Amino acid sequence: MLSVELLTLQNKEVELLRLLTKKGELERELQEKREQLRSLLAQVEAAAQKLAEKEEHLRELKNFVEHKRQRIEELQRQKEQARSREEYKKILRAIAKNEDEIIKTRQEIAKVEAEVEALQEAYQKVKEQVEPKKAVLEEEIRELERELERLNGKIAKVEEEIESIKASVPKEELEQFEKLKSKFNGLVFADISSGACEGCGMTFSPAEFKELLKNLTPGRSRCPYCGRFIYAKTKVGG
């Protein structure tokens, strides 16, 4: 014989298992949503990084041109102070070389400026595509986090109720219940409201079912086929 409190305990443990299963599902869903959000943000970051690198390259090219321009000014001053024809020609060659480098670099600048413009457009396009999806995902994540918080509250409450029930049941009876849980795969009490044993699935004949219901005493009555304690939800709250 087992006390009816253990039926309540079983129902609470089943409820806890259901809540923990739901929690696992929510956590997996939350992880997926966060990964999707990270992926979206990575797309924006990648576009921004490409743009930043190209803009940095453009700045370097412009700085190079400015450096060469200053070098030409310096060479122009040196040319005016040249002491020999050979030195004068050497300075002219250096000026020509720097001017040639400026021309080539300005051609490169024009090309890079076009690339920067294209990357700016690509970056804006990615942002425009990502922002609505990002907003939806962030709201879904917040809702999942709120749901998880509510669920954790329910889990804590059920765990507290389980401990309270265990504390009210004699130790020997609780130990017996745990042994029966191992024997019956966690289901010590089986509902027979449907006309079949919830535990073993055996269907009772009409006469047999009527007799079982007539003499049904939760914590005492057993299934004639599997030996589980039986009850009917119509008679005992489950």
Which residues in the chain belong to E strands, given as ranges?
189-191, 229-231
CATH match for 4-170 among 1.10.287.1490, 3.30.1330.60, 3.30.420.40, 1.10.20.60 = 1.10.287.1490
Mean per-residue pLDDT of the chain: 95
- The Cα–Cα gap between 221 and 175 comes to 19
Cβ atoms 212, 174 nearer than 8 A: no
Q: Kindly tell me if the per-residue pLDDT of 181 is higher than 70.
A: yes
CB 164 within 8 A of CB 8: no
Q: What is the pLDDT of residue 75?
A: 96
pLDDT over 90 (residue 237) = no
**pLDDT at 219 exceeding the cut of 90:** no
Please give the Cα distance from 230 to 188 (Å, whole number).
8
pLDDT digits (tens, 9 = 90+) for 2-40: 788 999 999 999 999 999 999 999 999 999 999 999 999
In the chain, where the domains are located: 4-170, 184-231
Please state the φ and ψ torsions of residue 232, each to the nearest 5 degrees. Answer: -125, 130
User: Can you say whether the dihedral through the CA atoms of 6, 11, 17, 19 is positive or negative?
Assistant: negative
Q: What is the pLDDT of residues 115-128, one digit of tens each?
A: 999 999 999 999 99
Tens-place pLDDT, residues 128-167: 999 999 999 999 999 999 999 999 999 999 999 999 999 9
Task: Give dist(CA 77, CA 118) in Å, integer.
Answer: 41
The string of DSSP codes covering 210-238 is: HHHHHT--TTT-B-TTT--EEE-TTTS--
The pLDDT score that the predictor gives to residue 235 is: 54
Going by C-alpha positions, the residue among 125, 111, 136 that lies closest to residue 48 is: 125
Would you state the pLDDT for residue 233? 85
